[in-house]
């Protein structure tokens, strides 16, 4: 269960920082999560301090960290500094779609809709020049969906990227209706039919709307490479009920992820498991690796440490299973 009080968020941030001290290789994603919890606890200066610690080193994704820092600074009164950071991000033109989107959402949150749309258009021009819509990674799909929403609020006519967003949208309610500013007025209606229609729209939005990268953790499924699975079952035969065969294991991964996607779950991922890592995790939890209940906790922990690979891959990319074939020819086949 996620924390839901300031004190619980503070406690969770402290736990993540202790974990970062134990696993310095995972310091960056753990610090970002800790900063998010500090923000939710109301400790925005404390969150900024964590962003500054990361930027003082050589972070893997400095643009994302700066975007998150700008969003946080603006929320507690440092508008000028936040604007300077946002201007810097736009000048450097990062190839990270998430940094662009967080920057635009910060502008949107402070009623800078024109600037938010301009920022997302700059990003789309940079990131979508050579990619067909079917091969867009999840963060870039999310970016053009956010751009569609902001342009809808500005009453802009559809352009090619808005058409892409419409085509890629899989919800039962179309994006034009989902992003219609006027639909909010229906929440004040006393007509049960109108209210039910709004509930349907909101459910669709919850299933497809991107949330900031540092907030909800990806829903991740364990993948045991064949050698690792053989070693696991040789050491802990009690787990054979979970993994009857390697082929069944791969089939179950793809089926589980497709089911979650069909239910509207965002940010799906796969984490690669190893026996030594799993045994170390079991020891840290003071339980036996033969305990099947430990497996989902292990997957969640790996994901929280930034070890998840986004699913699904692009159809032309290599399949997640390691077969060497493309995803479209392997587990991505219809």
CB 135 within 8 A of CB 94: no
Q: At which of 208, 236, 267 does a domain end? A: 208
Beta strands in 103-189 (DSSP E): none
Q: Identify whether 289 is part of a domain.
A: yes
Q: Are residues 80 and 182 in the same domain?
A: yes
- Provide the pLDDT confidence category of residue 211 given band limits of 50, 70 and 90: very low
- Provide the pLDDT confidence category of residue 1 given band limits of 50, 70 and 90: very low
Q: Identify whether 243 is part of a domain.
A: yes
Q: Are residues 236 and 298 in the same domain?
A: yes
Q: Identify whether 250 is part of a domain.
A: yes
Q: Identify whether 46 is part of a domain.
A: no
Q: At which of 185, 208, 231 does a domain end? A: 208
The average pLDDT across 126-140 equals 78
- Is the predicted pLDDT of residue 210 greater than 50, yes or no? no
3-state secondary structure of 1: coil
* Distance between CA atoms of residues 16 and 123, nearest Å: 32
Q: Identify whether 36 is part of a domain.
A: no
Domain housing 158? 61-208
Q: Are residues 72 and 190 in the same domain?
A: yes
Q: How much is the pTM?
A: 0.62
Q: Are residues 83 and 196 in the same domain?
A: yes
DSSP string, 49-107: HHHHHHHHS--S-HHHHHHHHHHHHHHTT-HHHHHHHHHHHHHH--S-HHHHHHHHHHH
Sheet strands side by side (includes 309-310): 219-223, 268-272, 309-310
Q: Identify whether 232 is part of a domain.
A: yes
Q: Identify whether 41 is part of a domain.
A: no
Q: Are residues 91 and 146 in the same domain?
A: yes
Q: Identify whether 256 is part of a domain.
A: yes
Q: Are residues 233 and 188 in the same domain?
A: no
Q: Are residues 70 and 188 in the same domain?
A: yes
The pLDDT, as a whole number, for residue 70 is 97
The domain spanning residue 108 has which CATH number? 1.25.40.10
Q: Are residues 189 and 90 in the same domain?
A: yes
Q: Are residues 145 and 280 in the same domain?
A: no
Q: Are residues 225 and 184 in the same domain?
A: no
- Averaged pLDDT of the chain: 86
The pLDDT, as a whole number, for residue 212 is 37
Q: Are residues 195 and 227 in the same domain?
A: no
| Number of structural domains the chain divides into | 2
Among the ranges 86-95, 203-212, 315-324, which has the highest mean pLDDT value?
A: 86-95
């Amino acid at each position: 269960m996620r924390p839901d009080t300031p004190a619980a968020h503070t406690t969770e941030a402290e736990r993540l920082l202790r974990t970062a001290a134990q696993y310095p290789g995972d310091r960056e994603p753990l610090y970002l999560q800790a900063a998010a919890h500090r923000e939710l606890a109301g400790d925005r200066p404390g969150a900024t301090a964590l962003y500054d610690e990361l930027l003082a080193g050589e972070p893997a994704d400095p643009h994302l960290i700066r975007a998150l820092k700008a969003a946080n600074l603006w929320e507690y009164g440092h508008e000028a500094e936040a604007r300077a950071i946002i201007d810097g991000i736009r000048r450097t033109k990062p190839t990270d779609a998430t940094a662009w989107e967080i920057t635009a959402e910060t502008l949107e949150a402070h009623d800078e809709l024109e600037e938010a749309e301009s920022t997302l258009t700059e990003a789309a021009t940079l990131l979508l020049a050579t990619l067909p819509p079917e091969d867009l990674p999840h963060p870039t799909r999310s970016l053009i969906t956010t751009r569609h929403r902001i342009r809808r609020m500005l009453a802009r006519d559809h352009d090619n990227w808005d058409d892409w967003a419409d085509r890629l949208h899989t919800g039962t309610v179309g994006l034009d209706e989902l992003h219609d500013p006027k639909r909010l007025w229906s929440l004040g209606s006393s007509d049960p039919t109108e209210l039910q229609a709004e509930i349907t729209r909101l459910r669709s939005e919850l299933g497809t709307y991107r949330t900031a990268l540092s907030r909800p953790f990806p829903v991740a499924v364990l993948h045991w490479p064949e050698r690792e699975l053989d070693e696991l079952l040789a050491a802990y035969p009690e787990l054979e009920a979970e993994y009857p065969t390697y082929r069944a294991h791969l089939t179950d991964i793809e089926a589980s992820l497709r089911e979650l996607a069909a239910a509207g779950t965002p940010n799906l991922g796969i984490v690669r498991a190893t026996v030594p890592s799993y045994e170390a995790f079991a020891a840290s939890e003071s339980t036996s690796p033969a305990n099947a209940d430990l497996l989902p906790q292990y997957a969640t922990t790996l994901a929280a440490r930034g070890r998840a690979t986004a699913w699904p891959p692009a159809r032309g990319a290599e399949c997640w299973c390691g077969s060497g074939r493309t995803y479209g020819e392997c587990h991505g086949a219809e």
